[in-house]
């Protein structure tokens, strides 16, 4: 049996992320209609949030996206 590859739409949206009493610029990662997580900068680190809760940190935005995509692939 042959498996057909499906096209998957991956979208990165610019968003305002509430952090404490302020809103900071961030990026929301979506696959299809499902929101995977949000990434925003805080000093030298990039904070990763998943389901509105802190999930981890990364040293670069590319690393942060990689962490979210790896978690999505593992836990779907």
pTM of the model: 0.83
Task: Tell me what pLDDT residue 20 has.
Answer: 86
pLDDT averaged per 10 residues, the chain (length 76) = 77 92 94 93 94 93 94 84
Task: Tell me what pLDDT residue 5 has.
Answer: 78
For the segment 16-31, what is each residue's pLDDT rounded down to a tens digit?
A: 998 889 999 999 999 9
Reported for 50-58, long-range contacts at CB under 8 A and 24+ positions apart, including other chains, are none
């Amino acid at each position: 049996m042959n498996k057909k590859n499906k096209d998957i739409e991956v979208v990165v949206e610019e968003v305002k992320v509430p952090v404490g009493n302020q809103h900071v610029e961030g990026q929301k990662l979506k696959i299809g209609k499902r929101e995977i997580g949000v990434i925003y900068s805080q000093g030298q680190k990039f904070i990763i949030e998943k389901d509105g809760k802190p999930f981890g940190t990364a040293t670069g935005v590319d690393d942060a996206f990689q962490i979210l995509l790896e978690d999505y692939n593992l836990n779907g």
